[in-house]
Structure 1
Amino acid sequence: MIKFCHRRYCRCLKNQRSDIKREEKLMKKKLLTVALVIAMVFAMAACGSSGDGDAEKTYNLKFSLAVSENNFQAESWRAWAKAVEEATDGRVKCTFYYDDTLIDANAEYQQLVGGVADIADVHRYANDGFVISENWKSITSGVPEDAVVDFSYKLFEEFPEIADEYKDVHILAQGFNGGTMYQLLTVNKEVKTPADMKGLTIWCEADWNGFVKNCGATPVNTPFSEVYSSLQKNMYDGMLIPTETLESCNFAEVCNYCVKLNLCYTSGAGHLMNLDTWNSLPEDIQKIIDSDEIRKVVEDANVNGFKASEEGAMEWAEKEYGTKEVVLTDDQRAAFIELVQAANLEKAKELDKKGLPGTKIVEALAKWSEEWEASKK
């Protein structure tokens, strides 16, 4: 009996020990589950904290400009920066550096890509991979003045070879030279037709050499610093340049006529953001910067700013020096445009030989221009 009870006791004790072990295992599982839950909560909290941090983080971007502080393009980009700051609730701000004081004027693109500046207006050179863009003025000139931005976007959409040249940077807007128009300033001769230019010596940028030759004149591309004195000494008969230089460069003192050729080229891309800077920005900020509303701020400001500077300079030149504004008829201007497009096609052939769509670009622009002008009638 005693023996029986002992055995029963042993069995009970053994069962109790088994129950305790099971409970211990269950307890360990519960503790492990609780630990995992706590870890997940902390992880989620950490993620939430990181997101909140990004939402509150500010970005001060270094913006380099080649132009001076009072230039209309500088004013346009300050308006853009203000719009971005407001749209991002102050999370993005820009510090401006003018007159190429932040980056080297001779290495703008390389230094932008290298991170010296976050944003910069850079001239695009063929040795940096910008073969089409290096010839931009020579193949896109002669378009309607109110289509320069629209056509620039169309070119990027229709010809991927253009966009590919900008693969290592981010384009902020199609507003590098939005609205820029070239006129013919002459010292003594009033020009109304291409025939009137025959035999003249005209200073111009190399981009316009073909056009000037087509008009029967001789193009010269000497350093800009020598132009004023050469006009003053009657070494040159005139120059191809925007009207605003009548005042800004005081060319009204040596040029008696401003012939309104109104030669425009598509605005193009030139204000670019460093790609690492762009990729570091949160998606919501990228969407704001890339929005049509923000792009339009600077694109419209550039076009309107240029027009205002042109009109103001012409009024000033007329008042101060009696410079005469020569307004062409539609037929007279069409004769000049025809010669511009012929020059564009010649330059385009050089791009064709490199496997690039030079002629296709020129032909597309001519077609779009014709349709644009027809829609305005």
Structure 2
Amino acid sequence: MVAFDISQEIKDISKGESAQGKLHKQYVEDKLMNSVLASDKTTMEHAELIHEAANRSIGAFTPSLLFTQMVQNFSITKQLLGEKLIRLLTGYDPNYIEKNLKIPEFRKELQKALYQNVEKLKEDKLLDNEGMITEKGTELGAMVLVKELDNFITKDKIGEKISKKTSHYGEKTDTRKYKQGDRYKDLNLKKSVHVAIKRQHNKLMGDDLMTSQREGKGKVSVIFALDASASMKGQKLDTCKRAGIALAYKAIEDKDDVGVVVFGSEIKSAVPPTHDFSAILNAIAHIKASRQTDFAAMIAKSVELFPATGETKHLIILTDALPTVGLEPEKETLQAVSTARSAGITVSMIGVQLDEAGAKLARQITRIGEGRFSLVRDLDQVGHIVLEDYYAVR
């Protein structure tokens, strides 16, 4: 059995959910864990399998039903499970399976592989007797999010540079040439006119524009709000999870607090800004995609989670769609953003492959929330942009 949160996707499969609980701190505090996992190929493959299952909204496995689905309609099964999960479950490349599925001898081998792999997961207590992913399994799957963290942080130097040079918040200090992504409200008109006159321009040109730099405001509380609606399922969700973990790691390292709100048609998980990395990892590890997107509820929950103290408060929203919950979803979302801004919270939006209508609303949100809007076409850039946005408020 493969259990999906989205029931209409496949009617023959009953719903399954992974167990809830807290990750033990030793999983994230032991620096040797990554090397141990890397040296154990089977363990790492199991971690990847469970992690990918969560990204695909899958909470359980039954080999007999898996085999039947593959034989009856492999193309739909591949669409639902994804190529990576099929490869991890069977040990075969999906294209190879598709080419040889009609051969009786190969079917026997495929069925045998499915049964053996699922039984191994049960022996290791990663699945229970019913095939449901256990809390131990979820904890192991979470290590995939941590495994490549050091490499990601090492490669991404943008945050360190921005923190030393500029911020979109704080006191104005110096000026520099305007560049795309700077806030219009930070334009320094006096300096811009001075540059235009010096260049003997009879009107302001784009190249004349100067913007004010700002010093950071000390401690920051940031909340990472992740859209876990159905359209985020798969690689999008995986990439955004990793970005959230990278943000938590860097912010906590910088002595800032990080919170997380996971939202779909309802608030699935909410952690107030904290220094507890394991709490953030636990919340993100349990994310599975659902159906709709309730922006207003997410923003309201974020306002509730921020501390009442005077530090910089910043909300980063990752989404790939428009809000869909409420009588007037867009209007209610903008009202919620206005409330957040009145509470001293700035709001940024990172749109993952947003369409034109989504980008238009995102610009309205960030204009009211006085944050930044970033449109991401390439998923590889998500983590970099999340960190860049965080460092812009420091």
TM-score, normalised to structure 2, is 0.20
Higher relative contact order (CA 8 A, sep 6+): 1
Between structure 1 and structure 2, the one with the greater Rg is 1
TM-score, normalised to structure 1, is 0.21
Higher helix share: 1
